[in-house]
Amino acid sequence: MAGGTAAPLPGSPLRIGRLVHALSGRTSRTGRSAGPDGGDGRIRDRGRTMNQTTVTRTTVLIVEDDLELSRMARDMVEECGLEALECASGQAAHDQLAARAHDIRALFTDVALGDSIDGVALALTTAERYPWISICVTSGQSATRPDALPLKVRFISKPWRAAEVLAFVEGA
């Protein structure tokens, strides 16, 4: 590419390094880490200036009844410098959202959860009650996006790749 550099591919070490740097804090004009206030005393959340009572959201809620997949997703989230909160059922996730929604940046959920609240219902409720939370729904039973999902919800069919999960977390 003449006159510039090519953008790093999703999931590449350079892209992941930039993602970790971007999520871990901003740099002030002097080059020092500026923290959540950007160096000017105003609290920011995802680029928007907020009042002083707003806290930067750093938690990704992972809802997966397969322990191995849940741990894989947790490891990826934590590698990005974010806190991962794992739940194995829709009801447990619903309870965590009710208690900690103010801390949650993103929801990463499977469709089939084995209880009365499936991932689609959880995504619908979350999108309505907590519009600041980014949502990704995954499924190993269907490669087709469920029609009931709101447009803002990302869908990934299983088996998902690390690059897909990292791209979702990066955009959250």
Please report whether residue 99 resides in a domain.
yes
Please report whether residue 32 resides in a domain.
no
Query: Which of the pair, 130 or 166, is modelled with greater confidence?
Result: 130
Check which CATH number belongs to the domain holding 74 and give it. 3.40.50.2300
Mean pLDDT score, 98-113:
94
Tokens of 69: 């997949």
Domain holding 152, by residue range, is 55-171
Give the rounded percent of residues in the chain with a pLDDT score beyond 70. 67
Please report whether residue 18 resides in a domain.
no
pLDDT tens per residue, range 111-164: 999 888 999 999 999 999 999 999 999 998 888 889 999 999 999 988 888 888
CA distance 48 to 17: 24
Total count of domains within the chain: 1
46 pLDDT higher than 80? no
Residue 55: pLDDT band by 50, 70, 90 thresholds? low
Tokens of 130: 């907590």
Determine phi and psi for 85, rounding to 5 degrees: -120, 120
H or E element in which residue 110 lies: strand 104-110
Task: Tally DSSP H helices, then E strands, for the chain.
Answer: 5, 7
Mean pLDDT score, 60-76:
94
Please report whether residue 123 resides in a domain.
yes
Pair type for strands 48-49 and 44-45: antiparallel
CA distance 99 to 40: 31
Please report whether residue 39 resides in a domain.
no
Which pLDDT belongs to residue 167?
A: 86
H or E element in which residue 70 lies: helix 67-79
4 pLDDT higher than 70? no
Which pLDDT belongs to residue 5?
A: 46
Tokens of 67: 């322990």
Query: Which of the pair, 4 or 36, is modelled with greater confidence?
Result: 4
Please report whether residue 41 resides in a domain.
no
Please report whether residue 10 resides in a domain.
no
Tokens of 12: 């590449």
Residue 40: pLDDT band by 50, 70, 90 thresholds? very low
Is the Cα dihedral 8, 76, 141, 133 positive or negative? negative
Tokens 């959880």 locate to 122
Q: Is the pTM above the cut of 0.85?
A: no
Tokens 């871990």 locate to 24
Query: Which of the pair, 150 or 9, is modelled with greater confidence?
Result: 150
